[in-house]
Amino acid sequence: MSDGSNQAKVSVLKPQTQSVVAERAQVFDNRADRDDEIDLLALVATLWRGKWIIALITTLAILMGGVYAYGVAVPLYTANSVVLLETKQNQIADLESVVSGLSGDTSEVNSEVEILRSRILLGRVVDRLDLESDPEFNASLREPGLLDNVKSSVIGGIKAAIGQTEQEPSLTPEQQAIRTHDNVVSALLSKMQVSNIRQSLVFQIQVETTDPQKSADIADAIAEEYTSSQRDVKYEATEQASEWLSERVAELKLELEEAEQEVARFSSSTRLVSAEALEGLERQLKEIRDRIVANTETRTSLESQLQELDAANTLDEKAAIAGDRLLSQLAEDLDGSDRSRAAFDTRLAAVISGLQTNLTRVERQLASLTASAATLEEQITQQTEDLIQLRQLRREAEATRLLYEHFLTRLGETSAQRGIQQADSRLISSAVVPQVPSFPRKSLILALSGMLGLMLGAALILIRELRNNTFKTAADLEALGGYAVLGQIPAMPIKKRNEVLSYVNDKPTSAAAEAVRNLRTSVMMANLDNPPQTILVTSCLPAEGKTTASLMLAHNFAAVGKSVLLLEGDVRRRTLNEYFDVTEKRGLVSVLGDLAKLEDVVFHSQALGGDVLLTEESRVNAADLFSSDKFSKFIETVKTRYDVVIIDTPPVLVVPDARIIAQHADAVLFNVKWDSTSQPQVQEALRLFHNSAQRITGFILNGISARGMKYYGYGGKYGAYGAYASKYYNS
């Protein structure tokens, strides 16, 4: 073609391309909406199709479970002993703080559960029952099994691979004994369970071993060691309390004796005083202090009077200050004579002398009273301190006596408790030797094995179904591609390609022949106004049956009196000659290269009922060959000579030849192989057509297996491979 014609064609195809893309987007949106829905019936149908696989896997699982339950699993026996926790106990003596009972709250119940599982208690059980000599608990006494050897080899290989070759340090016999004992305790811990029955103070001790008597013995031993440990704890507490109280009583006795001796020594070394005598001394001191105050005032008065007399200037003033009546009389009778004045002076001197004498006496009394007060104050202070110290010594001695009596009483109570301690729990049900093993539960193992096999089988079927994205029905193909399925051709019971025409000629009423008739009818009715003359048949990949479909469609058109040309468009692979016995080595390439005429290279096949044009090897690129004007003119020429031209083209996903040839075709049939061609392949092939602004006329679902359709659950529903097909077809 010229560049102008190509541009014109592209301009015409652009709106067509946009329309095709819009249609395909709508189809994919609808399919996405359907994919979001879960079809329960389809799910059940899928599982039903795989019922034999599910049944086989379930049977194998049950057999494996039976082998394990009846042959491999080691029977285990479970024994239970029951212990009751007693929270209220009658004490013979009041010694609750030493050996008090339990309150029974949640924290203490949980604590008792952990005590029952403690390694110290279980260590006593190990020693009591000599479980270190039991291979079930002491792994070093068991012969290593196959699994142990494999595990050891794997671990050794891993260490060697990572370069870890150091060996464990050697242990002394004492260290090895401790390790063995710890391992046995751990093994016992793994074989026992302790549970508290809800809303009660009852503990259930459960032990599971390979020997029924051993299980019962261990369960009872744990219960007995538990109650015994409680008594031992109380006994040890009592002994420790008694020992401590004895030491404390002895110390307090010595302290009491020393305190009493100190009181006696202090009493003998000081004057015996009392609070009453001390009060008398304090009253006496008060009286002396009162007298001191009075004398002090008198002394002050006398000193003041003497000073005033000394300071007085007149005789009347001196007489008034002296306060002496005689002196005042002499002052009145004073007549200025020496005699009267001498009498006055003599009397004044006597008064002054008397005042000085009184002052001296008062000062002496005041000094004596001050000394007496000081002596009394010192005496009172000393006696007060002695009284306080005496009282303190007596209080200390009394406190020591009370403490001594208290601890002496507690010592008596503790001594009374020796040997009569009661445990906070008691055994209410000894373990019964089990008669039947608790493991394996054979019926449960078989049931679980069956359920597991059922689930595994169903999972495998569903996974296989999810991974299988091929087409089983025309509805699936139409839903994905958005085009109608024009024909559904079942597989033919032939072994070679050249047997196709023989089969359809020998069995004209077979299911395959009728399917091709339906295909021909659908193709012709796809456009009643302008029935297609040039029909192209292609597929996604090789070996999907497109050549067989082309051959059978050409045969069917020839059977109704049409002049048919079957044209081989696959220049690269050239498989059409396998259906015919021909000697002509020239073909389509020779015609297009003007090396031969059409009537010289085309041949008529009696079995086909029409003409066939093969192709031959060529150095010319096939895409260039079919894009040439010669090929376009060739198609126009053969359309004038034949009623129907059927072109068998190469696969779409391999080479572009089919899309190039499709420009000259009136109808494009896309062949899809049943349960073989995948959905992504069809989607990609359609995308290539749509990118070239081309549409296909419809699909051909080819190679349908009647047995396969029955397996997928469609055997009684669809056309030529339905359950009723045998009444109409002779295949």
In a domain, 402, yes or no: yes
In a domain, 457, yes or no: yes
Residues 461 and 509 in one domain: no
CATH number at residue 115: 3.30.1890
SS3 163: coil
CA-based nearest residue to 534, from 610, 669, 646: 646
Q: How far apart are CA 701 and CA 676, in angstroms?
A: 11
Q: Which run of H or E residues covers position 18? A: helix 3-35
- 306-315 burial by CB neighbour count: b if 16+ within 10 A, else e? beebeebeeb
Lowest mean pLDDT among 37-51, 72-86, 365-379: 37-51
CA distances from 114 to 119, 122, 226 (A): 10, 11, 11
- Judged against a pLDDT cut of 80, whether residue 1 lies above it is answered with no
In a domain, 2, yes or no: no
Residues 311 and 377 in one domain: yes
SS3 540: coil
- Judged against a pLDDT cut of 80, whether residue 146 lies above it is answered with no
CA distances from 432 to 79, 125, 439 (A): 6, 18, 17
End-to-end Cα spacing for the chain? 49
Lowest mean pLDDT among 80-84, 302-306, 500-504: 302-306
Residues 67 and 105 in one domain: no
Mean pLDDT of 610-634: 90
**Burial class, 680, CB count within 10 angstroms (exposed 0-12 / middle 13-18 / buried 19+):** exposed
Instruction: Write out pLDDT tens, residues 235-278.
Output: 888 888 888 988 988 998 899 889 888 888 887 777 656 777 77
In a domain, 18, yes or no: no
In a domain, 245, yes or no: no
**Contact present, 132 and 126 (Cβ < 8 Å):** yes
Question: Residue 92 corresponds to which amino acid?
Answer: I
- φ, ψ (nearest 5 deg) of residue 469: -110, 35
Residues 584 and 651 in one domain: yes
The average confidence (pLDDT) of the chain is: 83
Residues 399 and 458 in one domain: no
Count of domains forming the chain: 4
Query: CA dihedral in degrees (47, 52, 58, 60; nearest 10)?
Result: -150
Lowest mean pLDDT among 146-150, 437-441, 622-626: 146-150
Q: Which run of H or E residues covers position 719? A: none
- Show the DSSP H helices in 130-210 as ranges: 146-161, 173-190
Residues 627 and 536 in one domain: yes
Mean pLDDT of 370-378: 85
Residues 215 and 348 in one domain: no
Mean pLDDT of 163-176: 76
What's the pTM value of the predicted model, to 2 decimals? 0.55
What local confidence, expressed as pLDDT, does residue 121 receive?
94
- φ, ψ (nearest 5 deg) of residue 598: -60, -45
Q: How far apart are CA 550 and CA 556, in angstroms?
A: 10
11: tokens are 């301009």
Question: Residue 706 corresponds to which amino acid?
Answer: A
Mean pLDDT of 547-570: 94
Residues 600 and 712 in one domain: yes
Return the ∠ at Cα 719 (arms to 710 and 493), rounded to 5°. Answer: 65
CATH number at residue 618: 3.40.50.300
Q: How far apart are CA 77 and CA 195, in angstroms?
A: 18
In a domain, 66, yes or no: yes
Beta bridge partners of 123: none
Residues 289 and 198 in one domain: no
- Judged against a pLDDT cut of 90, whether residue 51 lies above it is answered with no
What local confidence, expressed as pLDDT, does residue 178 receive?
93
What local confidence, expressed as pLDDT, does residue 273 receive?
61
Residues 6+ away with beta carbon under 8 Å from 263:
390, 393, 394, 397
In a domain, 166, yes or no: no
Ranges of beta strands (E only) in 600-666 are 603-605, 610-613, 644-648
Residues 508 and 632 in one domain: yes
Lowest mean pLDDT among 180-194, 278-292, 339-353, 522-536: 339-353
- Judged against a pLDDT cut of 90, whether residue 641 lies above it is answered with yes
- Judged against a pLDDT cut of 70, whether residue 35 lies above it is answered with no
**What range does the domain containing 350 cover?**
275-410
What local confidence, expressed as pLDDT, does residue 726 receive?
58
**Contact present, 615 and 587 (Cβ < 8 Å):** yes
What local confidence, expressed as pLDDT, does residue 604 receive?
93
Instruction: Write out pLDDT tens, residues 216-226.
Output: 999 999 999 99
| pLDDT band of 103, cuts 50, 70, 90 | low
Residues 450 and 590 in one domain: no
How do strand 610-613 and strand 564-568 relate by DSSP bridges?
A: parallel
Lowest mean pLDDT among 1-15, 292-306, 382-396, 531-545: 1-15
Residues 47 and 126 in one domain: no
In terms of average pLDDT, the best of 45-49, 99-103, 243-247, 549-553 is: 549-553
In a domain, 100, yes or no: yes
- Judged against a pLDDT cut of 60, whether residue 422 lies above it is answered with yes
What local confidence, expressed as pLDDT, does residue 488 receive?
93
